[in-house]
Amino acid sequence: SSFSSLQQEHACVRDEAHEQEFELRVQMSGYKRMRRQHQKQLIALENRLKAEMDQHRLRLQKEIETQANNTYIELERLAKKHAAQTDKEMKTAASEERRIQQQIVAQQKRELAAFLENQKKEYRLCKDKLKEEMSEDPCTPKEEKQERLSRHKETVQRSQAEEEAHVLAQQRLVYDRSCRALKRRSLIKKHEFEQEQIREELNKKRTQKEMEHALLIRHDEATQDLERRQLQMLHKLRVELMRLQHQTELENQEEYNTRRQRELHRKHSLEKRQQPRDLKTMEMQIKKQFQDTCKVQNKQYKALKNHQLEVSPRGDHRSLLRNLKDEQTRKLAVLAEQYEHSINEMVTSQAVRVQHVSNVCPVCVQYMSNVCPVRWG
């Protein structure tokens, strides 16, 4: 029967709806699973690149620490070398200063000994000469001779003591000047030696700073190259994942469009099969309403005719019946026109709705307009 076919069609529609919902759910779950996989790939790549960057920076830090340790060791070695050289130079200078001082002291001792020896010789010569002079004068008493010898001895000794003090003062002055000259030469030599050590240390530090600067530049270039390569890898993966995502979305959209188009075609076919039956039912309803209205008008016409015949003179009955008949015919014509307009409007609206839903060609409108022509009962 027609009802069993309708039930089967509704069951098919429900099954198709469940199947479409299941397909959509499977499609969405696959899309979400793909997005999660893409996110995991990005996180894994970022973690791997971060570990690589951390290892790279740790290696660079070790190189910097190694160079700093080598620099410290070299500076310590240079400082020890300079300290040893300074100690050696100071010992050599002190030894040389003592040697020269000893030479000066020995020379001054020899000069003083020679000076004292000359004084003794002069004293003996003067004493002998005085004795000769006194021996030539025998008249001089012995006490006077002794007194003259004593005065001469005191005079000579005082003069020699003054000359010896003068010589000692001169030697002391020469010794002090020589010591100051030695000290000055020693300090100048020490200053020049320290300047040379400072220049050597500064040259060493400058060389180490240049090496450190070159190492930092090389580290910076290596870090930039690594960052550039990592960014390229990350960008390449993101572009590839975005392409896969867009491709999947496009395929899903195309599949959805195909499914929706198939559903609309199926719905259109179903509505097209159902439309004659629906139009027939609606037409019967409109026709029944029209027939009921006609019956009501006929009853009203009969009641009005009987009432008019009762209240009107008998001679006016013919014209009265003719007027009532014309009025009834006019009203029935108006009802028939309304009925025809309702049928046409129903068919047109149904055809437009089917065309809008199923997106079919406008020929279907003409086809559905010709499915149920207007029939009069």
For 31-39, the CB contacts below 8 A with 24+ separation are 31/248, 31/249, 31/252, 34/244, 34/245, 34/248, 35/245, 38/241, 38/244, 38/245
- Whether 4 shows a pLDDT value over 50: the answer reads no
Residue 225 belongs to a domain: no
Decide if 338 contacts 326 (C-beta within 8 A): no
Q: Containing domain of residue 361, as a range?
A: 274-369
Inside any domain, residue 375? no
The encoded tokens of residue 186 equal: 């020693």
Is 289 inside any structural domain? Answer: yes
Q: Which residue has the higher pLDDT, 119 or 197?
A: 197
| Chain segment 343-356, per-residue pLDDT in tens | 787 777 766 665 65
Residue 342 in any domain: the answer is yes
CA angle 196, 183, 115 (to 5 degrees): 150
pLDDT of residue 265 exceeding 70, the answer is: yes
Residue 121 falls inside a structural domain: no
In a domain, 307, yes or no: yes
Per-residue pLDDT band for 211 (boundaries 50, 70, 90) equals very high
Number of domains in the chain: 1
pLDDT in tens, 45-87: 999 999 999 999 999 999 999 999 999 999 999 999 999 999 9
Query: Residue 354 has what pLDDT?
Result: 56
Is 124 within a domain?
Answer: no
Asked, for residue 155, whether it belongs to a domain, the answer is no
The model's pLDDT over 175-188, given as tens digits with 9 standing for 90+, comes to 899 889 988 988 99
- Please indicate whether residue 156 or residue 219 has the higher confidence score (pLDDT): 219
CA distances from 234 to 42, 45, 47, 327 (A): 8, 7, 11, 90
